[in-house]
A and B are shown apart, each in its own frame.
Chain A
Amino acid sequence: MQWDRRAFIKLAVGGVLGVHASPLVWKLMDDSTIWTQNWSWVPVPEDGEVAFANTVSPQTGNAVQTRLVLGRVDGTRAIRVEGNPDHPLGKGGVVPEDSSALQLLYNDDIRVKTPLMRDKATGRIVPLSWPEALDLLSGNLAELVKKGKPEGIMALGHDPDSTTSQLLMSLMAALGSPNVAFTPDARETLALAGLATMGQTDLGFDLANADFVVSFGTPLLENFGNPVATRKAFASWRAYPKNSGYLAQIEPRASVTASQADLWLACNPGTEGALAMAMCAIMIQEGLYDQQAVGAAFGFEDEGDFPGFKSYVLKNYPREQVAAMAGVPLSKLLKLTLDFAKAKRAVAVCGPGPSGGPGRMYDFMAVLALNALKGNIGKPGGVLVQGELPLKPLGEASLATKVPPLVNPALGLDQNNPHAMAEAALTGKPYGINTLLLVGGNFMYNGPSAGTMQKLARQTPFVVAITPFLDESAAVADLVLPSTHWLEGWGDSVSPFGSPVASYGLHLPLIKAVPEAKDAGEILLSVAARLGGKPAKALPYKNVEEALAVRSEALGDFEKLAEQSYWVQEKPNYGAIQFNTPSGKFEFFSLGLFKLLSGRAGNPTALAQMVAGMGVSGGLEAAFLPHWEPPAAADDLGTGMPLLLQAVPSLRTTWGGDAITPYMVKVLPDTMLADKDKLVVEMNPATAHELHLYEGDMVRVDSTAGSLIAKVHLFEGASPGMVFAPVGLGHQAFGFQVADKGMNFNNAAKVTSDPMSGLPIWELTAVSVEKV
């Protein structure tokens, strides 16, 4: 046969027809639809029996339960974290941070799996075995102690009331270093204000039984105390057909709380405390205070040399002046005060500021004074003293050491100021540090002053991070030790901020995602055992479980407690309160504070100097009374920084101590994060207009501490003259779903010390805004 054009066409056409006549084409098409839908990269979760286990999240203090699947091949794994419906406060509610915790727990890319060491010479990260890592750490500590320089060890931890932190304190005391600090918390400020006025440290607000709540600048419905319990209380006020509770919010932004409130008193930034004082003045002037309660208190009327609260407040906080200064209409302030005074079960609430800082002590004292005038202390719906949490101390936590601590005790009542500690260590005055122990709290990201902490870490010869994650703190560490996630290991947490009842929560190993991880407390115990001598004696426990059992002995059988995972005081303490003040009464003029500081100072001149040194601008007259201190940031406003930066808190982000999760990033609205992961800052349209800024403009927000690059969102609810930036974004770690989303608010926030309490605060920062 000749091979010509015709033959070629015949063969080609024949071939095509032949192939189509066969089932081949149809078979291949069918197969391809099956193959394309049978993708190996779409996971097929293994089925199994379902079981539940209780635990308490140390992140929020909320009781949760994990839903476990008992798989035959993959073993037991957790598939969900849900609220525990049996818990008397949480009642089954849960917040995003807890319900998405598994995303971080199971992410192999971001967990620390073995001890890691940074090779100083090459900068390479080398895995170590546990004995090697513990030898390295205990060797370093032992050497410093041997050299007589134990104060060169500085430790930073998260929640000072947790067992891990108690063990850390004991270890540091045994080593002889006074330099240990924790994430500053509003619980400390409330304890100080409570101690000054009532001689009680564990105060709470009975929100669930109140019918009138005034909140002074605290984000009640964003992140306050146990966020679930607070929301349950709020929901109970929103009954149908008529609200059963009234909520008033005083703050400069139309936040969630302000919007959900029946009254939003939009004030100038930082003036909330002044308004509390003005409300006191109005109640006194109008004779609307509880005569009986006030009659039984100390320091209301002038007594001898001591100025009385009544004359002080009437003289210094006239309603017209305060209303004008705070930028609120007098009529609204007056109506709020009258309604508060007349309400049956009214309570005034103070708490953490929007950036999660510990709040201002004098503001807290003003709010407690307002509650005392209302006469609600110890009453349903008022200010309560929590019942005693019968926990046994785990050892010597006293830090009376030979060397002075880095934080000068003369600067405030509370020495828990990681910022001041870091600044002192950086300047080397009175001395520098050699070893930095990071035990939770992620200080290299978290407030206060992430920037200062990073500088300190770079300057410190030996940095150790005990962390479950390859987070910002692990990134600066020379030795990283893998600790357990709270769903994998033992630990505990105590009553959240402002809770009316005492509570205790355990978390225990429910699931093991990283086999090598050890409880943070256990790592400290092993180090102490290796050091021998004093540290070994101070921390005699085998493991954290044993330490927890010892600590919670008075709460009953440990196994039962662990199974239930929580303990809650049954009934709130209603009735007469034991005021442990020098006068035995509620003290409007804090005799306790006066005696303490006079004793330290020795004479009146030195006392005046000491008070001024603590940053109290009102002088001796005001120092022992509730009063208002203007925010420090206001002083910076003139220096080319015309705007004030404040944080926007949310349950869709966190306050920095805990990581944000991928689901939390996913549900962020485009008023917080938008347009390919850019941070969004809110400004009032009028303020933006003055600066020639429009919606969507990119700007640089500069403070003396650092800067933020962000997109502008014009929001009518933002107070003019201010910039509002979300807090909790801009991580450099935690995988591609969380890292590099927005920028870290804490890099731009300026940290100052709160007058009298000495705690760091970073609520307001003077900034300039420039288009980029």
Chain B
Amino acid sequence: MVIDLDKCTGCGACSVACMSENNVGVLHDETDKIRSITWLRVYQIDNGKSFPDTEVAFIPRPCMHCQGGKAGTPGQAFFQEDPLLDSEAHPPCVSVCPATATDYDEETGIVSQIPTRCIGCRYCVAACPYHARYFNWYDVPWPKGTPRALSPFVSPRMRGVVEKCTFCYQRYQRARNKALVDGSEVGEMDYQTACTEACPSGAITFGQLQNPEHKVHKLISSEHTFRLLEKLHTDPKVYYMSKREWVRKMADNYVTRHKKLAQAAAGGGH
């Protein structure tokens, strides 16, 4: 997924479309952002300059679907390749889950979440550097009649489990089944997430990063492309684009000292 921050107007359409696709509930007090569940949260940042040079920007943040531990990442980083595992993948959350409720799909690169397997230990919530995982502290108080609007393709979750963005995996399953029946391949437009479809500016592009036919593949080679907290080497699959330098710097939680250390350790690095 590639999100163009220069097109994003912070309208929240992606976030709302995501919640309606994935049966996310609304609690009594949604200003408590620690307990409020938003699979795709739109963060607002500003350049910190005083009036009239102030500028704001928005960063929509779904689950990053980190691969982590990709071969060739520097040894000093947090999520380096684990020599004891067969898999190359090493996402921060998957490696700490004691219940195998979350897993990394080698084929799609999607980090899954199976709420019914979750035992609610919240290790993954603590491990995720992007705050993309949410714990159900409460049962959802569905107002009378509103469960009629729930999608049958995603199970509503119970209290005590963790949930997060799945890149609308149910849409992938549907596209895959259809392709299987038709005897074809899952095409670029056959599988699009709810947020991508909804965005009124068309700021979100979704596809296979490694497929040269797909738009995202071309977009990520742009010099304006970056990822959040790249210094952690989590290798996220969500890329951002912005021509504004201050946005790019802030997205990496830019601290010169860190960068220098990382570069020293990596002998170059990102």
Chain A residues with CB under 8 Å of chain B are: 37, 39, 41-48, 69, 71, 74, 77-83, 90-96, 99-100, 102-103, 105-111, 221-222, 227-228, 231-232, 234-235, 238, 240-241, 243, 254, 256, 258-260, 264, 266, 513, 650-652, 662-671, 673-678, 684-686, 715-720, 735-737
Partner of B203, one of A99, A235, A677, A718: A235
A-B pairs with beta carbons under 8 Å apart, 22 shown:
A37-B158, A41-B139, A45-B150, A74-B148, A93-B199, A93-B201, A99-B198, A103-B26, A106-B146, A109-B144, A110-B143, A111-B145, A241-B222, A260-B9, A266-B51, A266-B52, A663-B26, A666-B26, A670-B31, A684-B51, A736-B28, A737-B30
CB-CB contacts below 8 Å: B60-108 with A:
none
B150 contacts A673, C-beta separation under 8 Å? no
Chain B residues near A254 (CB-CB < 8 A): 46, 51-52, 54-56
Partner of B21, one of A80, A232, A662: A80
Whether A96 touches B16, Cβ cut-off 8 Å, given contacts A663-B26, A716-B46, is yes
Chain B residue nearest in CB terms to A267: B52
Partner of B200, one of A94, A258, A684, A716: A94
Chain A contact surface mostly: loop
Chain A residues near B55 (CB-CB < 8 A): 254, 258-259, 264, 717
A736 contacts B46, C-beta separation under 8 Å? no
Is there a chain A Cβ closer than 8 Å to B208's Cβ? Answer: no
Partner of A666, one of B30, B58, B149: B30
Number of inter-chain CB pairs below 8 Å: 230
Is there a chain A Cβ closer than 8 Å to B257's Cβ? Answer: no
| Min distance, Cβ B64 to any Cβ of chain A, angstroms | 19
Complex CA distance for A668 and B146, rounded to whole angstroms:
21
Complex CA distance for A221 and B13, rounded to whole angstroms:
13
A93 contacts B51, C-beta separation under 8 Å? no
A663 contacts B147, C-beta separation under 8 Å? no
From B6, B158, B201, residue with most partner A Cβ within 10 Å = B201
Whether A651 touches B156, Cβ cut-off 8 Å, given contacts A93-B199, A106-B146, is no
B16 contacts A716, C-beta separation under 8 Å? no
Whether A79 touches B26, Cβ cut-off 8 Å, given contacts A93-B200, A666-B38, A717-B51, is no
Is there a chain A Cβ closer than 8 Å to B228's Cβ? Answer: no
- How big is chain B's contact interface, by range? 35 or more
Whether A662 touches B26, Cβ cut-off 8 Å, given contacts A108-B144, A232-B202, is yes
B156 contacts A669, C-beta separation under 8 Å? no
Chain A residues near B49 (CB-CB < 8 A): 716
Complex CA distance for A222 and B9, rounded to whole angstroms:
7
B224 contacts A235, C-beta separation under 8 Å? no
9 closest A-B pairs by CB: A266-B52, A93-B200, A717-B54, A108-B145, A651-B11, A43-B147, A102-B149, A45-B150, A96-B16
Chain A residues near B28 (CB-CB < 8 A): 736-737
Chain B residues near A684 (CB-CB < 8 A): 51
Partner of B9, one of A42, A234, A241: A234
Chain A residue nearest in CB terms to B4: A238
CB-CB contacts below 8 Å: B202-238 with A:
202-203, 219, 222-224
Is there a chain A Cβ closer than 8 Å to B109's Cβ? Answer: no
B11 contacts A42, C-beta separation under 8 Å? no
A231 contacts B201, C-beta separation under 8 Å? yes
Is there a chain A Cβ closer than 8 Å to B256's Cβ? Answer: no
